[in-house]
Structure 1
Amino acid sequence: MIRDTSAQDRLVEVRPARHRKLLLIGGAAATVAVLAFAAPKIATMFSADSSVSASRLSFGTVTRGTFVRDIAAEGKVVAAVSPTLYAPYGGAVVLKVHAGDVVKKGQVLALVSSPELTNKLAQEKSNADAMQVEYLRAQVDAKKKRNELQKTYDNAVVDQTAAERDLKRYQSAFDKGAVPVADVDKAKSVLDKASITEKHAQSDLAMDNDSLTFDVESKKLAHDRQVLMVQDLERQVDDLNVKSPVDGQVGQLFIAERATVAKDAQLLSVIDLSALEVEMKVPESFARDLAIGMPGEISGNGKQWNGKVSAISPEVVSGEVAARLRFDGATPQQLRQSQRLSVRVLLDRRDNVLTVQRGSFVDESAGRYAYVVNDGMADRRDIRVGASSIDKVEILAGLKEGDKVVISGADAFGDAKHIAISR
């Protein structure tokens, strides 16, 4: 038989331990107290519609203070005046400047060679000279014709006077019986004929004088019209010397040297560096609040300048609207074309306003409700929001100062009204 260890076993007497009982009793009491204290929270947790980790959420606290609505963005320096010059007539172009050259107003930047236009000017000048000769000849002819008509009229007057004297003499002789009545009648006929001749000579003088005046005036108008045509062609020929309209700098050259271009082809651009503006891109949601004349701040190179909104584009491109700010005062000299600057436009300023950090909850709920966090629970509450800025939104109703609100991540709540926030 195999022997066991029963012979080695020894009964040990266990003494009662009072301190152990006390520890067990104290632990049970503490457990009951903790359960009693946490019971409401546990009940609340079980009453929640769902549970979301706090790491997936962002929170903001409702505060009271000054609310400033502004738009901050990066701007780019652009020229307020940047004209593009075009070819006034088709032909070969000779450039007199290079990109980046500083130019003065009226300086010739390019020459357009147009033999056709030059020849046309010479032809029209010749026509103008010929019309001037015709006009002068018409004046001489009219003067000569007037002299002849005046001579005819004067002779008629003399003849009429002589006929009147003859008639008087014959009448006196007839009264004395020296001449027969036939001589008197003949003298009367000669006077009547002289009177008719004088009358017609006077009429011809007046009528032909008007006709000659009209003829000379017609020649003058034709010459004046030709002179205007020559002046217009001279202007066009002068425009072949493409001149700078402003003091500035040559921007972009659109053609190569001695290129042949058509009429109205782009040649080059000139940048007026004395009138610079800052262009910024504004989100479409803020563009409706912008207005021309709003104050702004432009900063860069360690300096800050005041400005005003000078232009707002009516077109939305990629969800953004282009706006321009003009410097309030003299344009800073150290700025350069396309330089990047920081821009801030002040839309509105209010004091003693309830605000909370802006988040996606404004767009997700259309500003109708928010989730207020208290003791690990997020409860849905109806609210009413007002104006909004880049980083804050105005609270009109539904929240009070100090409330903690879920500002982003609430899309995970769905339609739940009570959400447990787990750590």
Structure 2
Amino acid sequence: MIRDTSAQDRLVEVKPNRKRRALWIGSGVAVLALLALFGPRIGRLFSAEASVSSSRLAFATVERGPFVRDIAAEGKVVAAVSPTLYATYGGAVTLKVHAGDAVKKGQVLAVVDSPELTNKLAQEESAADAMQVDYLRAQIDARKTRGELQKAYDNAQIDEQGAQRDLARYQKAFAQGAVPSMNVDRAKDELEKARITQEHAKADLSTNTDSLNFDIQSKKLAHDRQLLLVKDLQRQVDDLNVKSPVDGQVGQLFIAERATVAKDAQLLSVIDLSALEVEMKVPESFARDLGIGMTGEISGNGNIWKGLVSAISPEVVNGEVAARLRFDGATPKQLRQNQRLSVRILLDKRDNVLTVQRGSFVDESGGSYAYVVRDGVAEKHPIRVGASSIDKVEILDGLKEGDNIVISGTDSFKGAQRVAISN
């Protein structure tokens, strides 16, 4: 019988390892704590409909503070008064200045040679002189005719008085029996005849006086009308000397020297450098908030000047509206036309307003919702926005101060209600 090694074996007593058990217990507690802490977050992550990397998104925190709505853009200096001068009549033009020349108000800049207009003025002046002669002759003829009629009326009065005296003598002689009654009757007829003649002479004097006055008035009106025509032609002839309407500088010449132009052709432009404005382009979305008289700031050359909105174009071109600002006070002397300046227009300023940085989420959602980020999950919430500025948007409802939202890149969410944000 072969002997085994059982006689050599001995029982070894294993002592318990307290450190290892404590380590296992600690690990279990840590796992339970992590599950308690991150369990809801892990649940939300698994409940998300999509996952998007945070590198593709932009975030901003909702804040409460001052809210300033303004428009900032680049503008260029333009002349508030820059008239273009035209030819009032056709003809050959002689230029008296060159582009860039300084000119004074009333200075002759160009002369239009128009023999046709000059001859027409001379003809109308001659016609006016002839009408004046007719008017004076009518006055003389009227005085002569009026004198003859007055003479006839005076003679008729004398004849009537003589007939009255003859009738009185015949009546007296008839009463004494010196003359027959036939002589008395004849004297009465003569008196009646003289009275009728006197009445007709008086009526002729009155009627012909009115007629003569009308004739004189007609010739006077014709002469006055001709004088107005001559005055208008004289104005046109004077306008052949094209004069500067303002103090300034000759801008652009539209014609060459001694060029023959038609009526209303462009000749040249004059720039009034004492009245400069700044023109800027405003996005259409802000144009409705602009108003005449709004204050603004114009900066350039290390200076800042106050400005006022003076004009707003009613037309939208390429999604922009042109607006002009005039300087509030004297125009700076160091500015030049077409010089670039920075412009800022203040639209509104309020305190204690809930705002968030402006982003594409306003345009993508129309300001109706935003994605609020909590524990790595962006959740869709309905919101209501108010006024917008260049860099901020007013929050009226749906968000509170301290909320962190996605302001850009929400197009990748595809309208999902919950989206996980991965690092």
TM-score tier (shorter): 0.7 to 0.9
Q: 1:192 & 1:43 partners in 2: Cα distance? A: 138
Query: Which secondary structure state, in structure 2, belongs to the residue aligned with residue 191 of structure 1?
Result: helix
Q: 1:242 & 1:23 partners in 2: Cα distance? A: 109
Structure 1 unaligned blocks of 5 or more: 1-21
2:34 aligned with 1:37, yes or no? yes
2:238 aligned with 1:238, yes or no? yes
Q: Quickly say closer, same or farther: Cα 1:205–1:415, change in 2 above 3 A.
A: closer
Cα offset for 1:26? 6.1
Write out aligned runs for 1:11-160 (5 A).
33=30, 37=34, 40=39, 42-160=42-160
Please name the residue that 2:13 is paired with. Answer: none
Q: TM-score, normalised by structure 2?
A: 0.88
Query: Which secondary structure state, in structure 2, belongs to the residue aligned with residue 321 of structure 1?
Result: strand
Q: Quickly say closer, same or farther: Cα 1:184–1:278, change in 2 above 3 A.
A: same
Structure 2 unaligned blocks of 5 or more: 1-18
2:260 aligned with 1:260, yes or no? yes
Question: Which segment is superposed worse, 83-92 or 37-46?
Answer: 37-46
1:309 partner letter: V
Cα offset for 1:408? 0.8
Please name the residue that 2:402 is paired with. Answer: 402
Cα offset for 1:166? 2.7
Query: Which secondary structure state, in structure 2, belongs to the residue aligned with residue 217 of structure 1?
Result: helix
Q: 1:278 & 1:234 partners in 2: Cα distance? A: 40
Question: Which segment is superposed worse, 408-417 or 63-72?
Answer: 408-417
Q: 2:256 & 2:22 partners in 1: Cα distance? A: 100
Please name the residue that 1:283 is paired with. Answer: 283
Question: Which segment is superposed worse, 162-171 or 314-323?
Answer: 162-171
Please name the residue that 1:357 is paired with. Answer: 357
Q: 2:194 & 2:415 partners in 1: Cα distance? A: 124
Q: 2:421 & 2:71 partners in 1: Cα distance? A: 34
Query: Which secondary structure state, in structure 1, belongs to the residue aligned with residue 68 of structure 2?
Result: strand
Query: Which secondary structure state, in structure 2, belongs to the residue aligned with residue 356 of structure 1?
Result: strand
Q: 1:337 & 1:276 partners in 2: Cα distance? A: 8
Please name the residue that 1:173 is paired with. Answer: 173
Cα offset for 1:389? 0.8
Counting matched residue pairs gives: 404
Cα offset for 1:28? 11
Q: Quickly say closer, same or farther: Cα 1:198–1:181, change in 2 above 3 A.
A: same
Please name the residue that 1:317 is paired with. Answer: 317
2:51 partner letter: S
Cα offset for 1:198? 2.0
1:290-331: per-residue Cα shift (whole Å, max 9, x none)?
Answer: 122222111111111112222221211111111112222222
Please name the residue that 1:6 is paired with. Answer: none
Query: Which secondary structure state, in structure 1, belongs to the residue aligned with residue 353 of structure 2?
Result: strand
Please name the residue that 2:14 is paired with. Answer: none
The percent of aligned pairs where both chains have the same amino acid is: 75
Q: 1:415 & 1:173 partners in 2: Cα distance? A: 139
Q: Quickly say closer, same or farther: Cα 1:157–1:47, change in 2 above 3 A.
A: closer
Q: 1:42 & 1:156 partners in 2: Cα distance? A: 136
Query: Which secondary structure state, in structure 2, belongs to the residue aligned with residue 187 of structure 1?
Result: helix
1:255-306: per-residue Cα shift (whole Å, max 9, x none)?
Answer: 2222222222222222222222211111111112212222211111111111
Q: 1:46 & 1:187 partners in 2: Cα distance? A: 146
Query: Which secondary structure state, in structure 2, belongs to the residue aligned with residue 379 of structure 1?
Result: strand
Q: 1:384 & 1:180 partners in 2: Cα distance? A: 129
Q: 2:374 & 2:173 partners in 1: Cα distance? A: 150
Cα offset for 1:25? 9.8
Please name the residue that 2:292 is paired with. Answer: 292
Question: Which segment is superposed worse, 378-387 or 237-246?
Answer: 378-387
Query: Which secondary structure state, in structure 2, belongs to the residue aligned with residue 205 of structure 1?
Result: helix
Cα RMSD (Å) of the superposition?
2.6
Q: Quickly say closer, same or farther: Cα 1:383–1:205, change in 2 above 3 A.
A: closer
1:370-402: per-residue Cα shift (whole Å, max 9, x none)?
Answer: 222333332323322221111111122332322
Query: Which secondary structure state, in structure 2, belongs to the residue aligned with residue 394 of structure 1?
Result: strand
Q: Quickly say closer, same or farther: Cα 1:389–1:303, change in 2 above 3 A.
A: same
Q: 1:98 & 1:23 partners in 2: Cα distance? A: 103
Query: Which secondary structure state, in structure 2, belongs to the residue aligned with residue 220 of structure 1?
Result: helix
Q: 2:243 & 2:235 partners in 1: Cα distance? A: 13
Q: 2:256 & 2:31 partners in 1: Cα distance? A: 88
Cα offset for 1:343? 0.9
Question: Which segment is superposed worse, 227-236 or 173-182?
Answer: 173-182
Q: TM-score, normalised by structure 1?
A: 0.88
